[in-house]
Structure 1
Amino acid sequence: MVLDVDTGVDDALAILLALRSPAMDVRAITCVAGNADVDQVVANTLRVLDAASAPDIPVARGMTRPLVEPPRPARHVHGEDGMGDLGLPRSQRSPVGIHAVELLRTTLASATEPITLIPLAPLTNIAVLVRTYPELLDRIDRIVLMGGAAAVGNATAAAEFNVWHDPEAAAIVLDSGVPTTMYGLDVFYEPVVPVADVQALVSAADPARQLAGRLMQHQLARFGAATVTLGDAGAVAAVLRPDLLWTARHPVRVELAGTWTRGRTVVDQRPRAIDLDHDELGSGGLVDVALRVDGPALAALFLEVLRTR
């Protein structure tokens, strides 16, 4: 599997989960502008690898901005450095010397079996891959992305942040024909960790658990809540346990022109929508949209995996 990230508090939790799980073989991590600028994202990602005592997994710097609009980092959520301003030491690791899209290309081309891509960020890197190397799309087993919403947004009333940040990229990826699962806001907030478990993580001797706990503490303070959502880590947990996720296949389009709705994922839930002729309405790929999740079970899975060494 390959993670595509804009690390980010919850991206960091997702990376820790993926690295700690013996069921996940992380071949590469690609970075893109989103929660923070791409250089900060790379630095944050390398810090997470340090905390997890990870092997030398290739990490690559990717697209510095969305395809059309300027970047709009989420400092108000993730802090100035994207990682809760925890003052983490700089990593001695370095990213690989090729662009993230080229790392995706070489990883897919050299794989002996199809690979799962898990984008937890704006889809700019993945869209450029789709357009530049369409011959490699059959090397992708599935895209499991954190993004979109069938109902309400968070960046705006209509749009979820990752899709809103680069709607054109999301439209390209969702219309690529690659089997895709959309783990969006409809389930995003369901897996939560209580304060007591957060405190236990902070108090652990293990650096990975400590980091997870400190990041969650930042989110608790930021939002003034009694629990903290797994966020992007929920999408990784759902890859580990797809039986805990209930999806429905629907045509999905990305709104590119709306004054108030740009970046909305328009999930066509009309009866027999799959059978309708959508040509005159524009392209819309069939996507497995997550509409329900066993939140407590995914949160328990996250905590269980983090406790493993």
Structure 2
Amino acid sequence: METDRPIPVIIDCDTGIDDALALLLAVRHPGLDLRAVTCVAGNTDVDGVVRNTLTVLEQAGAPEIPVARGAERPLIEAVRTARHVHGHDGMGDLGLPAPARTPADVDAVTLLRREILASPRPVTLIPTAPATNIALLLRTHPEVTRNIERIVFMGGAAAVGNATPVAEFNVWHDPEAAAILLTAGVPITMYGLDVFRRVIVPGPDVRRLRASAEPGTRLAGELLAHRGPATGETDPGGGLGDAGAVCAVADPEGLITHRLPVEVSLAPGPSRGQTIVDRRARPGESELHEGTREQPLVDVALDVDVARYVKLYLAAVER
């Protein structure tokens, strides 16, 4: 990759332990130009997300990147946080200091439109959260798609869910928004649970990061330690989670994707929020009897080079 021409990216997040890991990577990878961060309710309430995002950028020594507050609830559903995973403050209750930085004086949709259209090169959007802000952007300012290179979103699952047996949390939290995102009319990569769970930083590396005197590197170690797998290992590693989606932008060759039809189940009941990924080799009886329906084609991540992405992450955050 040409480090003199970094990829302009914008992260839309619900920071969150692994969103914080994603922000640390985006700030420190030489091949990425983080132009803005927008915040949405998800892992914790939106004001907590803004606070956590500013804290992470400060700890990382990031330049003055604009951060904007976005939607405080999904389009239709009530807010349903994941504090049981991410701690009361959404950041593992690490006791981090309050940030000195302040958010931008515009809302998330306004900031997204401004930064996308102002970018001299097409922007890659990396939503690592429920897609509420992105859906509102696409419905309010559809002209932004002319300067969006790709959307690489963390969400969905071709196989097993986590919020429900079939639905991943980000999509389940706001299914209507995810359905709008899939019809954006730009290339889309789905970095879902099929690969999300697999990228684990080994225990010795986590311990080395935690022992660092550099604040951003040490924060990465503390966050990874909080994301250790629930096993009996004496030296467990920590999952990169959302940061894998940023790895996929910085180094897409580490991801194996298949272009497949994907739709979001919006009906009430146990399938709501499921990303239905059609992996069949040929149409079935439904299509033969009822005809085919137009469905968006998405580059669905089904395999990942774990060692490659772990190496990429460690090299960037320890710079």
Find out whether 1:285 has 2:293 as its counterpart: no
The match for 1:270 is 280
Partner of 1:298: 309
> How many residues get paired?
306
Residues 19 and 224 (structure 1), Cα distance of their counterparts in 2 relative to 1, 3 Å cut: farther
In structure 2, the residue matched to 1:255 is: 265
Q: Which position in structure 1 is the counterpart of 2:152?
A: 144
Counterpart of 1:47 in structure 2 is 55
The 5 A counterparts of 1:142-291 are: 142-220=150-228, 226-272=236-282, 284-291=295-302
Letter in 1 for 2:266: L
Per-residue deviation, residues 9-59 of structure 1 (Å, max 9, x unmatched)? 000000001101111000000000000100000000000011111110000
Query: Is the CA contact (8 Å cut-off) linking 1:77 and 1:222 kept in structure 2?
Result: no
* Identity score, percent: 57
Amino acid in the other structure paired with 1:245: L
Distance 2:153 2:258 in 1: 15
Instruction: Name which of 34, 37, 42 aligns with 1:34.
Output: 42
The code of the aligned residue for 1:48 comes to V
TM-superposed CA distance for 1:119, in Å, is 0.4
The Cα shift of 1:217 comes to 1.9
- Tell me if structure 1 keeps the 8 A contact 2:37–2:65: yes
Aligned counterparts, 1:31-180, within 5 A: 31-180=39-188
Q: 1:307 matched to which residue of 2? A: 318
Moved over 4 A (4+): 221-225, 279-283
Contact 2:226 2:238 in 1 (8 A): no
The Cα of 1:227 is off from its aligned counterpart by: 2.1
Confirm or deny: 8 A CA contact 2:67 2:104 kept in the other structure: yes
Q: Deviations over 1:193-241 (max 9, x none)?
A: 1211111111001100111111122222877662221000111111111
Question: What whole-Å deviation, never above 9, does each CA across 1:104-140 have from its counterpart, x for those lacking one?
Answer: 0111121222110000000000001111111221211
Deviation readout 1:64-85 (Å, 9 max, x if unpaired)? 0000011101001000000000
Name the CA shift for 1:212/1:282 in 2 (closer, same or farther; >3 Å): same
- Structure 1 residue 159 displacement after superposition: 0.2
CA distance in 2, matches of 1:232, 1:246: 17
For 2:44 and 2:232, the matched residues in 1 are separated by 23
CA distance in 1, matches of 2:178, 2:83: 22
SS in 2 for 1:26: strand
Cα shift at 1:165: 0.4
Deviates more, 1:133-142 or 1:4-13: 133-142
Q: Deviations over 1:72-104 (max 9, x none)?
A: 010010000000001100001000010100000
Structure 2 letter corresponding to 1:270:
R
2 CA distance for matches of 1:224 and 1:107? 46
C-alpha distance in structure 2 between counterparts of 1:111 and 1:295, whole Å: 32
Structure 1 residues 222-231 or 204-213, which shifts more?
222-231
Question: 1:128-175: CA deviations, max 9, x gaps?
Answer: 111111122121100000000100101110100000000000000102
Gaps of 5+ in 1: none
Letter in 2 for 1:124: T
- Residues in 2 aligned to 1:285 and 1:112: alpha-carbon distance in whole angstroms: 28
Q: Does 1:3 align with 2:11?
A: yes
* 1:272 CA displacement: 4.7
CA distance in 1: counterparts of 2:21 and 2:106, whole angstroms = 25
- Distance in 2 between residues matched to 1:154 and 1:244, nearest whole Å: 24
Report if the CA contact (8 A) 1:245-1:290 is conserved.
yes
> In structure 2, what is the Cα distance between the partners aligned to 1:52 and 1:136?
29
Structure 2: unaligned runs, 5 residues or longer: 1-8
TM-score computed with the length of structure 2 as normaliser = 0.92
CA RMSD of aligned residues (A): 1.8
TM-score (norm 1): 0.95
